[in-house]
Amino acid sequence: MTGTAVETTNKALDELFRAPDGETARRTVLCDGAMGTMLYDRGVFINRSYDELNISQPELVRAVHAEYLQAGAEIIETNTFGANAFRLERYGLRDSVRKLNLAGMRLARECVTQMREKQASEAYVAGALGPLGVRLVPHGPVSREDARETFREQVRALAEGGPGVGADLFVIETMMSMAETEEAMAAVKEEAPGLKLIVMLTVDDKGNSLDGTSAEEATRLMQLWGADAIGCNCSDGPQTVLDVIQRMRAVTKLPLAAMPNAGIPREVDGRHMYMTTPEYMAGFARKAVKAGATFLGGCCGTTPAHIRAMRHALRALGAMQEGVHAEAAVVIESTVKPPALKERSKVGAMIAAGDWITMVEIVPPKGIDCTKEIEGARMLYKLGVDVINVPDSPRASARMAAQSLCVQIQQQVGIETIIHYTCRDRNVLSIQSDLIGASSIGLKNVLCLTGDPPKMGNYPDATAVFDVDAIGLTKIVRGLNHGLDIGNNPIGGSTGFAIAVAANPGVADLDFEVRRFEAKVEAGAEFCITQPVFDLQVLEDFLRRIEGFRIPVIAGIWPLTSLKNAEFMKNDLKVRVPDQIMTRMGKASGPDAARAEGLAIAREMLAEARLLGHMMVRGVQVSAPFGKYKAAADVLGLEG
């Protein structure tokens, strides 16, 4: 690597570790997962030196690195966790420290270089140092001086050649005592001055280092000794690591690193298996970012599948800033101006005029025959409904494409539609193609949604994409409205969409919902459709919380059909259903009485929503459970 390239690498790494400037937070950086787990799964017994595989079976190590890079890791660690003299001596390899560390660095560097050439994306190699596997005085026979020199021997080999040839940065991980941590850090500072250093402890179930040092005191010491980022790895799994990260954040402003085990291993058919799923790790990633973590990855038991799931979660949060990330959809400069909202569609005109809008949701069929849906739309149009909403495979179920049903309704009935569009099933290339195509065939209203995960539907093993979430999708649509794709390349004109987003006023974590809603508005949202509302106080509270960035809101109304339906809304869809509503549905005697009570509740919600017009409720979307379109018309007070 040339001197200029090395300087560029150093500047890029400095950016990853920089302090927030008050306006821009640190971006989240995804690291790799376990090496040992992957090698074990490939048939390497645990009585082998995994570090020695750098020489005897380099293709195995190289393949693991490549899989993590393909999964989205931006930092990969060398396969040198145990490549120190004390650990290698157990395998008769004490004299192979330099050779094994150089080989480990070469394999990681080759993979990063190949990825950069193929994908034109950047990744970095971290020299990995683990504990020595011996006790230091006064608890053991090894002096602190010998410990430091042992670490120095390993660091010298990993850093040889400088960044771009040797390590770009160092990771000291799974440290169990502060004395050993200090010596490892000093070795890096002496042998590789100027390189960034991430230091992570492993902790007990109380969140303390295994020598009894509290997370807070350990944080103070590692900061004093010159760490560039600190954190926790390994341990008993995601929740323990998350707890420690939160404790560390309370006492430091340094970047934090969180790389847990995939839970506690269990023995299954003679093999140690880690039971934490990729989906659970994705949830951990979201929580860790909220807790302030900058560097995220995995330790024992994690695989490329876990890292890929975390990558999707981070993209959905907008925490990563990659070439295809949603940020690229922000309009920077364009000569194309979209038409005024009132000129884009009937919905846009009604919103611009402040008119009250009535919408009914029609779910696409599970097969090819949409006669029932077309006739339902025709009836509603004749009764005076303004627009039809068409969901995009709701609850991750396989149905007719929303775009197809929208076009057929508009062509055969003449009523305008709003297409729901999710990020679950498409990458950013497909998203742009679909939206450009939708505009070209006359669809002018789009509701931007993240989408339900496949595990909720009838094909739970289907692969989710989630290149972006609803916020990123909104930015993409806004860009297309300005005649630009996500790379700011012209598409020849404006797609002219009226842009809607969703909100759930009754969600448990309202602070998070409000922050996301504000981000959606900043991304370009022009009106909002809420989840079903059964408590107008909840809606009022939400409207007050979005006062400074409120856009026109369409309230969702759902006529309940049974107590079971109410329980589904409350427990599965996480919609706030007050106890009195549950009681009313529970008291209904029989299916007909339950449907009548559900209609009565829905009418009450609609009447109260109308009274909130001064608070920017501009209309209602009424769902038609189980295709009962007449019930939706009854809620709206429309008679045929």
Known binding site for Zn(2+): residues?
Answer: 234, 299-300
**Contact at 8 Å (CB) between 573 and 395?**
no
Terminal alpha carbon distance of the chain:
76
**Contact at 8 Å (CB) between 543 and 612?**
yes
Closest CA to 187 of 326, 78, 85: 85
Q: What's the rounded Cα separation, in Å, for the pair 232 and 245?
A: 7
DSSP assignment letter at 25: P
3-state class (DSSP) for residue 563: helix
Number of helices (H), then strands (E), in the chain:
24, 18
Q: How far is CA 39 from CA 35, 52, 279, 286, 446, in A?
A: 6, 12, 22, 28, 47
Q: What's the rounded Cα separation, in Å, for the pair 468 and 484?
A: 17
Q: What's the rounded Cα separation, in Å, for the pair 351 and 278?
A: 42
For residue 196, what is the enclosing H or E element? strand 196-201
**Contact at 8 Å (CB) between 615 and 583?**
no
What is the DSSP secondary-structure string of 139-177? SSSB-HHHHHHHHHHHHHHHHTT-BTTB-SEEEEEEE--
For residue 454, what is the enclosing H or E element? none
84 dihedral zone (left: phi>0; alpha: psi -120 to 50; beta): beta
**Binding site residues, as ranges?**
234, 299-300
| Sign of the Cα pseudo-torsion (622, 627, 629, 635, in order) | negative
Residue with tokens 């969140």: 207
CA angle, 36 as apex, 33 and 40 as ends, to 5°? 125
- Max intra-chain CA distance, the chain: 91
Closest CA to 76 of 38, 32, 133: 32
The structure tokens listed for 210 are: 């295994």
Sheet of strand 229-234, all strands in order from the earlier edge strand to the far edge: 29-30, 293-296, 256-260, 229-234, 196-201, 169-175, 124-129, 75-77
Buried b (16+ CB within 10 A) or exposed e, 377-407: bbbbbebebbbbbbbbbbebbebbebbebbb
Q: What's the rounded Cα separation, in Å, for the pair 191 and 3?
A: 20
The burial class, CB within 10 Å (0-12 / 13-18 / 19+), for 180 is buried
